[in-house]
Structure formats: structure tokens, C-alpha cells
């Protein structure tokens, strides 16, 4: 493709060479550059891509996109831009022939509920005979085809490639989790959404955003590029989002007046039922996912699909079929233990509070929690989660999560600082912590193992080890029960 075609829609200056050249492919990793490629100099948090401009040229780069002044005598075209991340997003879209223009895109952002909501919408749209792509935390999907997901929202170059593959396979809709990181780092810059959903906002990722206001502003970016905004008006930040966004707005609620509501709610150990109310019509929905927060997820998902012309009947059928790996997943079904074990991805204060309050609603005996906090992440939430885990459980087992480069004992010390009750034990090894909880469990107890959910690994220092809680629970059952 001609470089001039790749640069369409971009503000830039050429400081060396010509834009009338052919480009083979585009890359931001200098190690992947081959003859005739274009290289993006991206300023990262640890490494500045401008340092690798000369390496990229040695490897064959025909053009370089940069923000800083680099060696003027490099034998290539040098394109100067104000923001190389935004440039990469626009150029990547041009390189893949703007694939997301050819299907409808639904984006969802918020602290909690993104993953579950994407699975709900996928199920609903498939009931309506649509081919659906999904991009998110657990995996990426094109129809039934499952692909590994490196991060919640891919870098813009990988994202556009994924859009291209979806378009090639006839996708009608792509539903994607849009993380605050990806919005701050302009991974979806220039991408237009048909629907944008706001679930909720609570403390998370302050290690990255530094302030809660920055976190909020990052989330808000999604709505500036969407035709319709769908807002949880019950959330304390929902009203602010409603006031701040200027496009067409649709609200959903359990407690307040809204465009879409849930009434006659019944939450039980295996799910929840409610009446979905929309424009005077009502339809009863039986979810296989328990918890009030999953009713909110269902309402937001229903709102997006209703906006896209999907019938209430297809919405009901889709919601009633959906299951989500690692989200309030009862992993002891089929075993006669006398107690249940639930695995959930909850790794924020709000997420932990939600899953424990939900489990409490259907726990006849004691509620036992197993949780930790990730290393190299927001340390301010650790004592908060310690207090929540202890206050809302009869017994709390504090353990490791993904320590990363931190010492697990130091993370646990931070968690324990927030605990005021004497109902907890510390078990450093996560597998042993799960075993301890199961040994403590009695008839009618419920154990909630929070933090990892669908993940099948643990990150220790510079190693990633296999760690699947479902397998560990099965092994403990074989050993002890």
C-alpha cells in the first residue's frame, strides 16, 4: 500500500524522504521489521520506541512515524506527528482497510461487569441470528472460534487486525470490553461505536491513572466516539456520565426511573429472575447467574440490543442461555460435599463486596472467603479489600493472587492492615489456602474463591506458572473427600 494512503486522516509533516513509496506492513516492534515496513516509535512506560528507530532502519524500515526528533540522516521517510499512539491507531485502520466500518461495534466500559456483559450480548445477538465477534478478558471470539487474549483490549495494531479477520469471516457485530488503560493509551482512537455502555465506577487501576478523576476521564472517552450511550443510572457516577455525554442517552436501573428497568426481582443460589420493563412491555427473565449486579449487567446488555432492534423474545432467550467462565461459577456441581465452592474473578473492592453479598443471600451456613491482591498494582485497595473480605465473611482466608515482582508476604501485610475482626487466617500458598478453606467447610457452607476466576495461571516474579483453581479443587476433592 502507498504510504500516502496509510496517512489519510492524519496530521503530519514529512521531515525526510517521500510519502510516495510502497509500504509492506506496519509494526511497533523493531524486531519484527522487514524490508519495506513502516515503524512506529511509541513512547512506553519503560522503553521509548524512538531509541529503536535506527535498528528498525537497519532491519529494512522504509518509513518511521515519530514524535521526537531523530537522526535526520536515516535513509528512510520520517513522518513527524504530535501523538504516535493516535497515529498508529489511524494508520493501522487504514492499513487494514478500516474494517470496523463494515460491521457494528458495541463497547462496554466500567470497573466491573464488562466481561459478563459481553457474553450476555453475544448470546442475545446470536439468538437474533447475527454472527458475533467478541474481544475481552477471557478470550477473543469470532463466532464459535476462540482465540487467546493477551490483554482486555488489544493494542491498536492488533485490534485492527482482529477487526479485519472478523470482517473477513462475515461478522455482523463486534462486542468488546474497552478498558480504561486502552482508552488512556488511544488503542481505540478513531474507532466509532454504535453503542457504548457504562456499567459502574469504583476504585481500581490507580497505580496507572494516579487519581480517580483521571480514571473517570479515561472511561468517559468511550462515549465521545459512540452514537448511543447506555448508562447505569443507579451507579453513583452514572448521573455524572449522563450529564457529561452529549450523544443519544439510554438509562437502565433497578432503583430509579429509567428507560429500561428490572422489577419483581428474585435472587437464589443458582441464579436470579426478574421482569424486564421496556416502553410499557414486560418480559420475565430467568438468569443462570446469581446476584443483583448480574441483573444490572443483563439490563445494560438488553438496552444495547434493544437499541439495535433486537426483540424482547430474543433478549430473554439469549440471557437465559448465557454462562460466563469464572464469574460466580459454582465448581462443585455434581459433587456431594455438603457445601459449595464458587470461583469468581472479583479483584477490586467493589467486585469482592458484590460477590460476597451475593453469596450471603443464598448461604444457609457459613460464608468462607479466599482472596488476595495482585502485586505491582494499586496498593491502596489492599486494606480496603481486607476489611471487606473479613467483614462480609464468617471466615476469611487471606492468600496470594498474582504477586508479580512483589513479595507475597508484603502484599498480605497490606491486606491485613485493613482487617478489624479476628475471623481470618493467612495461608501464603494459594493452593494450600483453598485446601484450608475446604477443610474448614461444613454442611451448608459456601466458599468463595475470589480474584482469579477464569485465569489458569499465576505470575510469580518473572515466571508464569500453570494454576487452574478448578483443577486444584478437583484434586483436593479426590484427596480429602
- Whether the pLDDT of residue 215 is over 90: the answer is no
Domain with CATH 3.40.1190.10 in the chain: 99-321
Mean pLDDT for 242-260 is: 96
Mean pLDDT for 199-212 is: 67
Residue 210: predicted pLDDT: 63
345-374: pLDDT as tens digits: 999 898 899 999 999 988 999 999 999 999
Domain 99-321, what architecture?
Answer: 3-Layer(aba) Sandwich (3.40)
Residue 150: predicted pLDDT: 82
112-126: pLDDT as tens digits: 899 999 999 999 999
Q: Which residue has the higher pLDDT, 270 or 124?
A: 124
Residue 382: predicted pLDDT: 97
382-408: pLDDT as tens digits: 999 999 999 999 999 999 999 999 999
Q: Which residue has the higher pLDDT, 249 or 329?
A: 249
CA distances from 265 to 254, 270, 274, 303, 380 (A): 9, 14, 4, 18, 35
| Residue 363, marked binder | no
- Decide: 427 and 433 in contact? Cβ < 8 Å: yes
- Whether the pLDDT of residue 471 is over 90: the answer is yes
| Residue 332, marked binder | no
| Residue 153, marked binder | yes
Q: How far apart are CA 206 and CA 213, in angstroms?
A: 10
Q: 283: which strand partners?
A: 276
| Residue 55, marked binder | no
| Residue 377, marked binder | yes
Mean pLDDT for 459-463 is: 90
CATH 3.30.465.10 fits 3-95, yes or no: no
- Whether the pLDDT of residue 318 is over 70: the answer is yes
The CATH homologous superfamily for domain 329-480 is Mur ligase, C-terminal domain (3.90.190.20)
Helices 312-321, 114-127: inter-axial angle, 10-degree rounding: 120
| Residue 338, marked binder | no
pLDDT band of residue 217 (cuts 50, 70, 90) is confident
Domain with CATH 3.90.190.20 in the chain: 329-480
| Residue 402, marked binder | yes
| Residue 308, marked binder | no
| Residue 251, marked binder | no
pLDDT band of residue 412 (cuts 50, 70, 90) is very high
Mean pLDDT for 314-336 is: 92
For the chain, give the number of residues. Answer: 481
| Residue 403, marked binder | yes
| Residue 451, marked binder | yes
| Residue 399, marked binder | no
| Residue 269, marked binder | no
Mean pLDDT for 435-443 is: 98
Mean pLDDT value across the chain: 94
Task: Give backbone dihedrals phi and psi of 12, rounded to 5 degrees, phi first.
Answer: -160, 165
Residue 72: predicted pLDDT: 67
Mean pLDDT for 440-468 is: 94
Q: How far apart are CA 167 and CA 164, in angstroms?
A: 5
Does the pTM of the predicted model rise above 0.95?
no
Q: Read off the C-alpha cell for 456.
A: 489458569
- Whether the pLDDT of residue 151 is over 90: the answer is no
- Whether the pLDDT of residue 203 is over 60: the answer is no
Domain with CATH 3.40.1390.10 in the chain: 3-95
Closest CA to 428 of 415, 441, 439, 438: 415
Closest CA to 107 of 187, 157, 178: 178
Amino acid at each position: 500500500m502507498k504510504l500516502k494512503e496509510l496517512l489519510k486522516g492524519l496530521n503530519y509533516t514529512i521531515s525526510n524522504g517521500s510519502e510516495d513509496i510502497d509500504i509492506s506492513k506496519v509494526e511497533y516492534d523493531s524486531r519484527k521489521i522487514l524490508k519495506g515496513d513502516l515503524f512506529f516509535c511509541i513512547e512506553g512506560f519503560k522503553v521509548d520506541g524512538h531509541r529503536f528507530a535506527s535498528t528498525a532502519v537497519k532491519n529494512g524500515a522504509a518509513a518511521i512515524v515519530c514524535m521526537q526528533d531523530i537522526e535526520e540522516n536515516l535513509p528512510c521517510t520520517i513522518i513527524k506527528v504530535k501523538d504516535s499512539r493516535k497515529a498508529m491507531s489511524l494508520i493501522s485502520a487504514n492499513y487494514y482497510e478500516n474494517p470496523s466500518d463494515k460491521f457494528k461495534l458495541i463497547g462496554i466500559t466500567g470497573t466491573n461487569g464488562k466481561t459478563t456483559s459481553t457474553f450476555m450480548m453475544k448470546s442475545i445477538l446470536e439468538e437474533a441470528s447475527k454472527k458475533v465477534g467478541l474481544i475481552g478478558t477471557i478470550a477473543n471470539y469470532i463466532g464459535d472460534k476462540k482465540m487467546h487474549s493477551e490483554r482486555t483490549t488489544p493494542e491498536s495494531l492488533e485490534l485492527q487486525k482482529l477487526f479485519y479477520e472478523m470482517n473477513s469471516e462475515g461478522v455482523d457485530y463486534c462486542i468488546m470490553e474497552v478498558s480504561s488503560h486502552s482508552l488512556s493509551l488511544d488503542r481505540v482512537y478513531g474507532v466509532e461505536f454504535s453503542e457504548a455502555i457504562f456499567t459502574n465506577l469504583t476504585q481500581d487501576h490507580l497505580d496507572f491513572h494516579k487519581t480517580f478523576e483521571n480514571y473517570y476521564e479515561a472511561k468517559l472517552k468511550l462515549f465521545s466516539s459512540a452514537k448511543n450511550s447506555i448508562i447505569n443510572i443507579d451507579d453513583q457516577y452514572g448521573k455524572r456520565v449522563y450529564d457529561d455525554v452529549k450523544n443519544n442517552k439510554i438509562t437502565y436501573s433497578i432503583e430509579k426511573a429509567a428507560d429500561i428497568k428490572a422489577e419483581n426481582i428474585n435472587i437464589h443460589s443458582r441464579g436470579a429472575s426478574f421482569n424486564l420493563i421496556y416502553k410499557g412491555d414486560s418480559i420475565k427473565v430467568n438468569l443462570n447467574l446469581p446476584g443483583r449486579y448480574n441483573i444490572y449487567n443483563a439490563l445494560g446488555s438488553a438496552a444495547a440490543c434493544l437499541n439495535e432492534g433486537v426483540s424482547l423474545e430474543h433478549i430473554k432467550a439469549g440471557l437465559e442461555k448465557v454462562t460466563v467462565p469464572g464469574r460466580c461459577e459454582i465448581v462443585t456441581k455434581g459433587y456431594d460435599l455438603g457445601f459449595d465452592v464458587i470461583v469468581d474473578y472479583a479483584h477490586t473492592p467493589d467486585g469482592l463486596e458484590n460477590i460476597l453479598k451475593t453469596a450471603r443471600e443464598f448461604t444457609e451456613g457459613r460464608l468462607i472467603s479466599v482472596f488476595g491482591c495482585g502485586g505491582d498494582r494499586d496498593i491502596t485497595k489492599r486494606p480496603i479489600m481486607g476489611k471487606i473480605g473479613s467483614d462480609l465473611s464468617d471466615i476469611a482466608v487471606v492468600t496470594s493472587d498474582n504477586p508479580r515482582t512483589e513479595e507475597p508476604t508484603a502484599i498480605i501485610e497490606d491486606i491485613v492492615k485493613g482487617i478489624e475482626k479476628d475471623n481470618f487466617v493467612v495461608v501464603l500458598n494459594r493452593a494450600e489456602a483453598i485446601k484450608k478453606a475446604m477443610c474448614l467447610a461444613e454442611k451448608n457452607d459456601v466458599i468463595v474463591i475470589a480474584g482469579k476466576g477464569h485465569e489458569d495461571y499465576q505470575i510469580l516474579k518473572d515466571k508464569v506458572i500453570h494454576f487452574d483453581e478448578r483443577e486444584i479443587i478437583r484434586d483436593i476433592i479426590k484427596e480429602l473427600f
